Amino acid sequence: MPQNPNVSPLAPHPPGLRPWQARLHEVIFEADTPAGKAFDVALLVTILLSIVVVMLESVASIRQTYGRFLYGAEWLFTILFTIEYALRLACVSRPARYARSFFGVVDLLAIVPTYLSLVVVGSQSLIVIRAFRLLRVFRVFKLSRYLSEGRAIVLALKASQRKITVFLVTVLTVVLIIGAAMYLIEGPQHGFTSIPVAVYWAVVTMTTVGYGDIAPQTVPGQALAAVVMILGYSIIIVPTGIFSVEIAVERLRGASTQACPSCSAEGHDVDARYCKYCGTRL
């Protein structure tokens, strides 16, 4: 059968990678082959087990009985993840770019707390950040619809960041003024010992949290508190509306489960043949 002249043949392996790197990349980063899917499923199970170990270790009664076993399991998982992280860097043509990507940073942070615990006691509890690695489940099981929705959320956040920044600056200015006014009205004798403390009260009240550790005692202070509460209900919907509008205007095509062999970026269109971030052939 004659070959279509408009379609260039695929390279035997991605440019910039040796054959063994290409095979390793296919197993570690791709979920389209049996070996790749098996690796990712095993990785997800290992991540879940490591999180369970950390959670169990935080329970005093379990730690007293099985502390030595949990400590050994924690280091075993960390060593495995360290090897996996090194392999990920070894099978991409631009390791530094992958290391700076979202999953690259998460993969690194997933192993740092255990080593850090040798210097800072208790820091191993930060290992629960490994839960972010479970986001790969959408790619592993080819849930491309969820990949597209996740991509829409990221783009909507980027598109609305300026509006939300202006909104946050405005809110911070308002709570600073309200805090100063409440400090002037109530004073130290009613718990508002400083403007920062009064600003803390304003933030807690405006966000409708209401801890109740500080409360105005005078009539003017209570009147101002009522205004802040009503203002809080009005303000809290603003960022939600901004974000909802940005999601509504996004028009995205489906995303594939393929990862770039060079920069490891994901979320490409299903018909993409080149990485939209670095131009490498997929």
Q: Which one is predicted more confidently, 247 or 71?
A: 71
Q: Which of 18-22, 213-217, 243-247, 250-254 has the lowest mean pLDDT?
A: 250-254
* The two three-digit tokens of residue 15, written as one number: 């440019």
Q: Provide the 3-class DSSP secondary structure of residue 266.
A: coil
Question: Which residue is it, tokens 């600003």?
Answer: 199
Write down the pLDDT at residue 110.
84
Write down the pLDDT at residue 213.
87
- For 71-126, write each residue's pLDDT tens digit: 899 899 999 999 999 999 988 888 888 888 888 888 888 888 888 888 887 776 77
Type of residue numbered 120: V
Question: Which residue is it, tokens 């405006």?
Answer: 206
CA distance 147 to 257: 8
Q: Which of 74-88, 105-119, 160-174, 253-267 has the lowest mean pLDDT?
A: 253-267
Write down the pLDDT at residue 120.
80
The percent of residues above 90 in pLDDT, for the chain, comes to 24
Burial of residue 114, with CB atoms counted within 10 A of its CB: 0-12 exposed, 13-18 middle, 19 or more buried: buried
* The two three-digit tokens of residue 110, written as one number: 């997933």
Write down the pLDDT at residue 158.
80
